[in-house]
Amino acid sequence: MSNSAIENRPLPPALPAPEAPAPPAETPPLSNALVWLMAVTCGLVVANIYYNQPLLAAIGRTFHKTDSGASLAATATQIGYTLGMLLVVPLGDMLERKRLMLFMLLGAAGAMAAAAFAPSFALLAAASVLIGLLSAVPQLLVPMAAHLAPEAERGRVVGRVMSGLLIGILLSRTVSGYVGLHLGWRAMFEIGAGLMVLLVALLAWQLPQDRPSFTGSYASLMKSLGTLVREQPALRRATLVGAFLFAAFSVFWTTLAFYLEGPRFHYGSDVAGFFGLIGAFGALAAPLAGKTADTRGPDYTIGLGIALALGAYAILGLGGGWVAGLVVGVILLDVGVQATHISNQSLIFSLVPEARSRLNTVYMTGYFTGGSLGSVLGGLAWTHGGWPGVCLLGAGLAGSAWLISRYYARK
């Protein structure tokens, strides 16, 4: 064969190049509108837990219960919420979060409706447990917001979403008391059920899917909570700091009404409610705390928040005999506690991204445990030491939070 024939022979077809692996799907951008929807959702859902507190006297009259008997409805709701945090929130790492939250909101709507039409106190109490359990949605939504947010903006986004939760806690009692006074206590539960159905429609339309990476069983999921505690010293530190500082916060709010009604002031419950409104400063400070945690690091804002809480108790102890001193102390305490809380959450959400719901479960369980112990200790301090004893206890708990933050589990 001539050289020219060889040169003119057609070349065999080239083998197709191996396909490059598809790039992982990018997380959709977290728009301001979606962040605000998450914040509003947190506020409206967490309000379910507190609606019944101003209505307990009316509920007691309906079912012929004493004040202590009627208060079991509020206790049942809190028990349900604790169970929801411990048993349901970890599922956010195992099941698709959007679907799980929609299911819980529909269940919460049903439980609220059952409470509205409950023919007996026993059924109301059972519905209250379900209301609390199914209203743990904010503890799924906050980790979801942290997951969807860019790393450089995680603290700011968590702060904004948490501000909605805090405002919901703050305003729920006011709204519930007004509705109960003018429309009756059952109307508040009816309205709450309608709001949950509205949220289901909005979130089904706007909330993106957030698929988990955990593939094990529910038993292994719950077992992994202990593994996270053992293997993540920063999680243990944040949980202890949050628990001690929330205990210091609860010491003040548990005893404030007693102090205001005492011989120093002779004020009624309406003035105690006014101090609750002042707590809005803590909610307003949450986004700023998150933004500062992004730029200066969470350790900086945690230290700053604890310092504000210590300063608050110094002012409450020295100037708490005057209303102005109480107002300044309340503002500093609320801002300090919320700044530390947001920074703690920003810190733990950066540890194991695929386990954010479980991280939040560990942290929030410790956080509320600290708050419960603070309420008990605050009552004892008031009984045996009066206002000075309360301030010394609060300062001691805040100081313990600082020592843990500074020295525990540090390499």
Please write the tens of the pLDDT for every residue from 153-209: 777 788 788 878 877 877 777 788 788 888 989 999 999 999 999 999 999 998 888
More confident residue, 387 or 214: 387
Residues 314, 180, single domain; the answer is: no
Whole-model pTM? 0.76
Q: Give the residue numbers spanning the domain of 320.
A: 225-407
Residues 239, 105, single domain; the answer is: no
Residues 97, 179, single domain; the answer is: yes
CATH code for position 370:
1.20.1250.20
Within a domain: residue 26? no
Six-digit token pair at 24?
């992982």
Number of domains in the chain: 2
Residues 282, 144, single domain; the answer is: no
Last-in-domain residue among 212, 245, 264: 212
Identify the pLDDT of residue 334: 86
Per-residue pLDDT tens digits for 365-402: 898 888 878 878 888 898 899 999 999 999 999 999 99
Residues 303, 188, single domain; the answer is: no
CA distance 379 to 287: 32
Count of alpha carbons within 13 angstroms of residue 323, beta-carbon side:
10
Binning pLDDT at 50, 70 and 90, where does residue 263 land?
confident
Binning pLDDT at 50, 70 and 90, where does residue 9 land?
low
Mean pLDDT on 242-267: 84
Within a domain: residue 17? no
